[in-house]
A = this chain, B = another copy of it.
Amino acid sequence: MNSTRQSAGNEVGERIIISIDAMGGDRGPSAVVSGMARSQRKNPDIGFIVHGRRDELEPLIARKRGLGDVCEIRDVPDIVTMTEKPAQVIRNGKNTSMWSALDSVKQGEAEVCVSCGNTGALMMLSVVRLRKLPGVDRPAIAVLWPSRNPQGFNVMLDAGADIRADERDLATYSAMGVAYARSGLGIERPRVGLLNVGTEEHKGRAELKLAHEHLQAASVDSDFDYVGFVEGGDLPSDRCDVVVTDGFTGNVALKTGEGTANLIADQLREAFRYSILSRLASLLALTSLRRLKKRIDPRRVNGGVFLGLNGTVVKSHGSADSTGVSAAIKLAYLLTQQRFSEKLAARVASAPNLPQTATTGGNGGSSE
C-alpha cells in the first residue's frame, strides 16, 4: 500500500504539494496560473510542481506576488490537445505536461494532480501511469452535485470513466464514494444510494439488484448507511450523500443537470430583460441573484476526481477560468491534507468482496 509515498507532502509543518498540469485547458496556462495564485493567497502552506513550457510559465508566475517562491517548474515541451485520441497520448505523450504531472504523483512527489486537459486522455494516462488500486477493476470519476444537504453537495460516481459497471464495480464505487464524502465533504457517516428507475426493490437491471443486496449487507456495522435505490430526482436531494451509478448513466445525468441549469439561467435573464419594470426589479434583485449564482455556479464545484488509482487526479473543466482552477486546487489541497489517497486505498482493501457472477463484465440485466 506504499504509505510513505501516499503521505508525501503531508507532514506537519511541511508544504502541501500539488502537481499541476498547466497546459491542457482551453484558456491556456494563464488561467491555471491565476487559479494557483488565488489558492496560494488562501492557503499559504501550499506548494506546486508545475508542468509545462518554462518560457511561458515563468513570466506568468513572476507576475503573481509570492507565487514563484512556492513553485517548482518542470519544463516539458509538449501539450495534449483537446482532440487527441487517448491511445495516441499513451504512445507519444512522454514529453507532455499531462504525463509529467502524473509522474510527480507516481514518484511520490505529490499525492494529487490537477489538470484541465482532455478527459479521455487524462483518464487513460492516469490508469496506465498510476495503475489501478488492488481490488479496483474500474476506476471512477466522482463529481460534486449541488444538493439540499447541509454540506451543499452530494457525491455522484461514476460520472463517465467507464460506460459499464457490474455489481462488483458498483460496490467498489460505493466504498470509494464513502471515502470521498468523508475526506472531501467532512461527512462522518455518509448515506449511500444506488441510482435506479424506481425505489422498489424489484426494479432495475440484474447488476443493480445484486449490488443492492450486497450494500444492504455491507452497511451493517459499518461507518456508512445504505438508503437503497434512489432516482434521478434524488441527485440534488437530501436523501443521501453518495449516489452510485455506472458511468454511462452518470455522464448523461451530469450533462442533463448542467444543461437544465443553463437553460433556466438563460430564461431567467430573458425574463428580467422583458420590460422596464422587470429590468428595474432585476437591478434590485441583483444581490439575491448573485447569491443564487454563487450557490449554483458550476465553477465552484469544478473538479471531477478520478478514484481507484494509486494517487488521486482532479480533473478541472477544460474551459475553467481562474475561479474554476482554484476550486479544483482547493479540493486537491483538502484531499492531500486529509491523506485521502491512503484512506481510500485502505477502505477498498478492507471492503467485503462480492463474488463474481454470470452477469459480471456485461450489462445483461433482466427487466421486471
Contact = CB atoms under 8 A, between A and B. Distances in A.
> When A and B form their complex, which 7 residue pairs have the shortest distance between CB atoms, in order from nearest?
A232-B255, A281-B284, A233-B259, A232-B256, A281-B285, A363-B363, A278-B288
A257 B237 CA distance: 13
Interface of A: 146-148, 160, 162-164, 195, 197, 203-205, 231-237, 245, 247-249, 251-264, 266-268, 271-272, 274-275, 277-278, 280-282, 284-285, 287-289, 291-292, 295-296, 362-365, 367-368
Given A256-B256, A364-B364, A296 B264 contact: yes
B264 A261 contact: yes
A164 B367 contact: yes
B251 A235 contact: no
A252 B255 CA distance: 12
Contact of A163 (B251, B278, B365): B365
A262 B235 CA distance: 12
| A contact patch SS | helix
Nearest to A146: B263
Among A164, A255, A260, A288, chain B packs the most CB atoms within 10 A around the CB of A260
A256 B258 contact: no
B271 A282 contact: no
Q: How many copies does the complex hold?
A: 2
Given A197-B248, A285-B278, A257 B260 contact: yes
A259 B278 contact: no
B367 A163 contact: yes
A82 to B, nearest CB: 12
Max count, chain B CB within 10 A of own CB: residue among A163, A205, A268, A287: A163
A253 B288 CA distance: 29
A252 B195 contact: yes
5 contacts: A232-B251, A249-B249, A271-B289, A274-B288, A284-B284
Contacts of A368: 163
Nearest to A362: B364
Given A163-B197, A280-B284, A363-B363, A231 B255 contact: yes
A292 B271 contact: yes
B260 A288 contact: no
